[in-house]
Structure formats: structure tokens, C-alpha cells
A and B are shown apart, each in its own frame.
Chain A
Amino acid sequence: MSHTYVHALYNDDDRLKEGATKVRGLGYSIKEVFSPFPVHGIDKIMGLNRTRISICCFIYGCTGFSLALWMISYMSVYDWPIDIGGKPNFTIYHNLPSWIPILFESTVLCSAHGMAITFLLRSWLLPGVSPKNPDPRTTDDHFLMVMPAYSEGDITKLTAAAKETGAVEIKTVHA
């Protein structure tokens, strides 16, 4: 199934935000905005949901904590209790103070790496992946807004809205 998109290119981030507000106000959705730097507040205008990466972080942290607790309690309580400086070593509870740094490090390691990997996978920013960016100028000084259009009327309305808000270039793309 083929889709039609209207690409509106802006050279100013305030114009871009105006355009995005206008398009959203008309009841259309915005598929993507390409920009050379983070545009403050554009996510709210586009109607994006809040990131769920912090929930991922919590889950990875719990995983790291449990893995480390399992590993170290197996190693130094069940498999071979090691006598270090005469410290009591037959239960998890007695050993716990000396394990806290390890548990902490493992929690941080798993949550940080897990988050980074999740982000890269979710946004498909991996080595060898071809860029999705439709216009190289958006890596320099231009901002591109991609809006899906479902009929000729949509194209006309979106083009007009983009033109009104000062887009420097408007294209209709079939993909």
C-alpha cells in the first residue's frame, strides 16, 4: 500500500513550531520532524507520548540487582563460603553489607547498558543502517516536517498550511 506524504521544509525552528501547531490544529497528524538540534517543545505540539524508557530502566535495574544477588550468594554462601577476616559468611543476611557495592554496580551497569541498547534498537540507530533522513539539509540548518496525506484535499490543505507559516520548500512524496 502506498502512502503519500507532504514534506514541508523550514529554515527557522519558530516557524516550524508555528507550522506544526497549525497542522495539528487542522486535525492532521505529523509523522516525523527532522531537525539539526532538539527543538524545545516540539514533542508536545506533535502530540508524542512521554518516553517509557524510565520504566525500562527500572526493569533493567531490578534485573541487574537480582542477577548480582544470585551470583554472589551462590559464589560466597552456597558453593564455597569464603572466610574473609573472620566475617560471618553462612547467610545472605550476614554478608549483605559487603555486597552492597557489587549489587549497586551491577544495578547501574544493567540499567545504563539496557537503556542505551533499548534506545538504539527502538530508534534503529545501529551500525550499517541506512539513514531515514529524507533531506541532508536537515543536518545543517533546515527543519523538515513529514505529514501523511490520504486524499487530494489533504494535500491541498497541508500545502496551504505550510505555505502560510513560511515553509521554504514544500514537496509531495509518494512512498
Chain B
Amino acid sequence: MNYYTFSSKAKTTTYVLMGLGLIAIVFGLLNGDISSTRFWANFLLEGAFFTFISLGAIFFMSLQYVAMAGWSVVVKRVYEAVGRFLPFGLITIFLVLIVSVIRSKTSNDIVYHWMHKGTDPLYDELVAKKSMWMNIPFVLFRTVIVGGIWVYMANVMRKRSIEMDLTNDYLPLHYKNLMTSAFYIIFFGITEQFMAWDWIMAIDANWHSTLFGWYIFDDMWLTGVIVTVLFTIYLRRKGLLKNVNANHMHNLGLWMFALSILWGYLWFFQFMFYWYTNIPDEVVYFQARIDHYRCIFWIMFCVNLLLPLIVLMTRDTKRNDKYLVIIGSILLITHWLDAYIWIMPGSIGVEWHIGFYEIGLALGFIGFFTYVVLSSLAKVPIEVKNHPYLEESVHHHN
């Protein structure tokens, strides 16, 4: 049995990163220049970004079950572990919601401006008309219930997957996981839209888009796959995951490539239709971003679409760990910037800064996320022992 040991060096690194995050939080609390909105909007940014990575990994896991995919079995433990951050990320998002609810009684200095007198038609008619869906109790209820079901189903699937290694009679467990995955995909496909509206789209309360949920969905999926790739390469460098070879990395690289193209497709079609129709209450979304976040906006778009399109198109780069690590890391940063401009224009407006607080908090969450993932990787044998498609996966080549 091969176990990953969470070495003290790796532990120290994550502790240092988490310490930086704590310093950033204290700095944010004490510094008078950092408003409450900016303070909590960054919490929402990190919470959402890392929750989405975990959700993407869990979706990817269910997809492998439902598609009866064979090749991915040898990296199964990695994407299962990446999904383990989900409860912590959900708690962060819930915390921002609760703080916004409490502060909304007295102040408009909050992330979700609609919560402040949002249901009063004299205050904002457009938001008041949405109050059947967008009211504080219902939003909190949805977050708790949907988040709870996601965490529960993901835990059940991982538990069964670990049990499969301990028994010789593993086929029934596999089929149970297959059924759970099918239900999870249907449930997730619908509820993910709701949560994308509630957590992200509701920040720009007067704006709405039917495509936004899919756009967020693709972002989840992509970042989940990228993080899986990075952890797989890390574990292989440690001499683990002996069955994983360039063929498996090729398939993961294909996912990175394909989902980046899908991301560009969804982003561009949102943009093009707005540009073409030029309807004021739609265009306001891109206007706020292009006018005041111009640099982030164009860098983010060009890098997220063109970098994987150009570099990951050939077979050789997808089979090369170095390329995957460099491209994956750059894509994670630019998708973080993408998430930054989902949240900031609607909450803090035009006065944005990326300073010590933002970077420190991001590093803190990276440390926290890595700690959670590595410690759950260390808990179970890293090599899958019993799986109906294990042989197929070991001999996979393309």
C-alpha cells in the first residue's frame, strides 16, 4: 500500500501561507483605507474561487462514473481529495452572506447591495420585482440546503470509493456510486445555476443573464481539472502514482484545452450579443468592467482563451509536465482575475486596488486549500486497488 506522507516541509509551507493570510486579515481589519465591502468582497472572492475548484473536481468525479470512463481511475484519489475543500469554501461564502445580512440593516457598505432596502419598490424597483426569489431568508435557505446536499453527496461517494479498496466485493459499491453520480449531476446542474445567481450574479443586482450559470459552471470544471493536474504532477514528483504516465496527463491536458475553448466560447458570446444588441440594462455589466477594470478585463480574456489555444494545441505540450504546470498556474491566476471582476465592480465599484490585503488573503487561502487537500490525500492509500476499470486505466494510451 502506497501512502502519501504530508511531509513537514510541505506542512510548514502551508502554515507560512496561512500565516500570511492571517496577517492580511488583521491588516485589513486595522487599515482604515480598507472598507468593509472590500474586506468581505475579497472573502467572497477566495471562498467562491476555491469552492468552485472543489465543485469542479466533484463534478469531474461524478462525470467519470456516469460516463464509465476508464482512463481516469488511476488519478481518482487526486480529484476526490481536491473536492474535500468544499465545506470550508461554503462556510466562507455563507459567512459573507451572513455579514451582509447583519450589516444591511444599517449600512449600504456591504457586498450584496440588494440586501439593503432591496425589497422596497421606492428604493429600487427592478430589485423589488425580483424579491420573490431574491429575499434574504430564501437565499440563506438555498445556500444551506443546496450546499449541505452537495457536501453530503460528495462525502458519500468518496466514502464508498475508499471502501471499494477494502473489500473484494466492490462491484455493488461501484454501481451505487454510479447511481449517486447520475443524481448528483442532475441536481448539481440545476442548483449550480441558482447558486451562481445568488452568490455572484446578485452582486450586480439590476443585471441578469441566463448564460451566466453556464459560464460559472465551465469555470468550476476548468479550475477543478487544472488543480487536479497540478496535484497529480506534484504526487508523481514525489514518486507516487506510479501508474500515471504521459497518456493520462495527455487526457487531463485535453480537458484543460477543451474547457478553455468552451470558456472562451461562453464568454465571447455573452460579450458579442451585448455588443450587438446594445440594450442599456445589459450593457451596463460590460461597461463597468471595460471602463474601470480595462487592464484586468483584456488580459484575463486574452490569456484565458489564447494561451491554451496556442500552447496546448499540439500533442507534445499536453504530454509534458513542465508545460502543464506553467500553463495551469498561469490559467489559475487569470481565472482568479476573472473571478475578481465578477465580484468587485458590483460591490466596491470603481475604486479597486489589488494590494497587500488581496494578495495576502489569496495566499492564505492557497495555503488553507493545499493543507486540506494534502491532508486528505495522506489519509487514504494513493493507489487505487479495486475498480472495475483499473486494468483499462493502467494500460490506457493515446
Seen from chain A, the residues whose Cβ lies within 8 Å of a Cβ on chain B are 54, 58, 85, 87, 97-98, 100-101
CB-based A-B contact count at 8 angstroms: 15
Interface flags for B271-287 (1: CB within 8 Å of A; 0: not) read 11001101000000000
Is B133 engaged at the interface, CB distance under 8 Å to the other chain? no
8 contacts between A and B (CB under 8 A): A58-B313, A85-B276, A85-B278, A97-B272, A97-B275, A98-B276, A100-B268, A101-B272
Q: Which residues of B contact A101 (CB under 8 A)?
A: 272
Name which residue of chain B comes closest to A104, CB basis. B265
- In the assembled complex, the Cα of A101 lies from the Cα of B276 at a distance in Å of 13
For the complex of A and B, 10 pairs with smallest distance between CB atoms: A97-B272, A97-B275, A98-B276, A100-B268, A100-B272, A98-B272, A85-B278, A97-B271, A97-B276, A85-B276
Give residues 257-305 of B contacting A (CB, 8 Å): 268, 271-272, 275-276, 278
Name which residue of chain A comes closest to B315, CB basis. A54
- In the assembled complex, the Cα of A54 lies from the Cα of B268 at a distance in Å of 26
- In the assembled complex, the Cα of A98 lies from the Cα of B278 at a distance in Å of 13
Name which residue of chain A comes closest to B314, CB basis. A54
- In the assembled complex, the Cα of A34 lies from the Cα of B313 at a distance in Å of 32
Main secondary structure of the interface of A (DSSP, over half): helix
- In the assembled complex, the Cα of A97 lies from the Cα of B275 at a distance in Å of 8
Seen from chain B, the residues whose Cβ lies within 8 Å of a Cβ on chain A are 268, 271-272, 275-276, 278, 313, 315
- In the assembled complex, the Cα of A97 lies from the Cα of B301 at a distance in Å of 14
Q: Which residues of A contact B275 (CB under 8 A)?
A: 97-98
- In the assembled complex, the Cα of A101 lies from the Cα of B271 at a distance in Å of 13
- In the assembled complex, the Cα of A87 lies from the Cα of B274 at a distance in Å of 12
- In the assembled complex, the Cα of A115 lies from the Cα of B272 at a distance in Å of 30
Q: Which residues of A contact B313 (CB under 8 A)?
A: 58
Q: Which residues of A contact B268 (CB under 8 A)?
A: 100
- In the assembled complex, the Cα of A98 lies from the Cα of B277 at a distance in Å of 11
Name which residue of chain A comes closest to B268, CB basis. A100
- In the assembled complex, the Cα of A58 lies from the Cα of B275 at a distance in Å of 30
- In the assembled complex, the Cα of A87 lies from the Cα of B275 at a distance in Å of 9
Q: Which residues of B contact A85 (CB under 8 A)?
A: 276, 278
Name which residue of chain A comes closest to B278, CB basis. A85
- In the assembled complex, the Cα of A13 lies from the Cα of B191 at a distance in Å of 48
Q: Which residues of A contact B278 (CB under 8 A)?
A: 85
Q: Which residues of B contact A98 (CB under 8 A)?
A: 272, 275-276
Q: Which residues of B contact A100 (CB under 8 A)?
A: 268, 272
A166–chain B nearest beta-carbon distance, Å: 23
Q: Which residues of B contact A97 (CB under 8 A)?
A: 271-272, 275-276
The residue in B271, B272, B315 that gathers the most chain A C-beta atoms within 10 A of its C-beta is B272
A51–chain B nearest beta-carbon distance, Å: 11
- In the assembled complex, the Cα of A81 lies from the Cα of B332 at a distance in Å of 41
Name which residue of chain B comes closest to A50, CB basis. B315
- In the assembled complex, the Cα of A101 lies from the Cα of B315 at a distance in Å of 27
- In the assembled complex, the Cα of A58 lies from the Cα of B268 at a distance in Å of 22
Q: Which residues of A contact B315 (CB under 8 A)?
A: 54
- In the assembled complex, the Cα of A85 lies from the Cα of B313 at a distance in Å of 37
A115–chain B nearest beta-carbon distance, Å: 15
A48–chain B nearest beta-carbon distance, Å: 15
Name which residue of chain B comes closest to A99, CB basis. B272
B238–chain A nearest beta-carbon distance, Å: 31
- In the assembled complex, the Cα of A165 lies from the Cα of B386 at a distance in Å of 35
B309–chain A nearest beta-carbon distance, Å: 12
- In the assembled complex, the Cα of A43 lies from the Cα of B64 at a distance in Å of 28
- In the assembled complex, the Cα of A130 lies from the Cα of B275 at a distance in Å of 55
- In the assembled complex, the Cα of A140 lies from the Cα of B284 at a distance in Å of 64
- In the assembled complex, the Cα of A57 lies from the Cα of B54 at a distance in Å of 36
- In the assembled complex, the Cα of A58 lies from the Cα of B276 at a distance in Å of 30
Q: Which residues of B contact A87 (CB under 8 A)?
A: 276
B322–chain A nearest beta-carbon distance, Å: 22
The residue in A85, A97, A101 that gathers the most chain B C-beta atoms within 10 A of its C-beta is A97
Name which residue of chain A comes closest to B276, CB basis. A98
- In the assembled complex, the Cα of A87 lies from the Cα of B276 at a distance in Å of 8
- In the assembled complex, the Cα of A175 lies from the Cα of B394 at a distance in Å of 44
Q: Which residues of A contact B272 (CB under 8 A)?
A: 97-98, 100-101
Q: A58-B313, A98-B276, A100-B268 are known contacts; what are 12 more A-B pairs with Cβ within 8 Å?
A: A54-B315, A85-B276, A85-B278, A87-B276, A97-B271, A97-B272, A97-B275, A97-B276, A98-B272, A98-B275, A100-B272, A101-B272
- In the assembled complex, the Cα of A101 lies from the Cα of B275 at a distance in Å of 14
Name which residue of chain B comes closest to A84, CB basis. B276
B317–chain A nearest beta-carbon distance, Å: 13
A65–chain B nearest beta-carbon distance, Å: 13
A86–chain B nearest beta-carbon distance, Å: 8
- In the assembled complex, the Cα of A20 lies from the Cα of B275 at a distance in Å of 60
Q: Which residues of B contact A58 (CB under 8 A)?
A: 313
- In the assembled complex, the Cα of A85 lies from the Cα of B315 at a distance in Å of 44
Q: Which residues of A contact B276 (CB under 8 A)?
A: 85, 87, 97-98
Name which residue of chain A comes closest to B397, CB basis. A41
Name which residue of chain A comes closest to B313, CB basis. A58
- In the assembled complex, the Cα of A54 lies from the Cα of B398 at a distance in Å of 14
- In the assembled complex, the Cα of A97 lies from the Cα of B315 at a distance in Å of 30
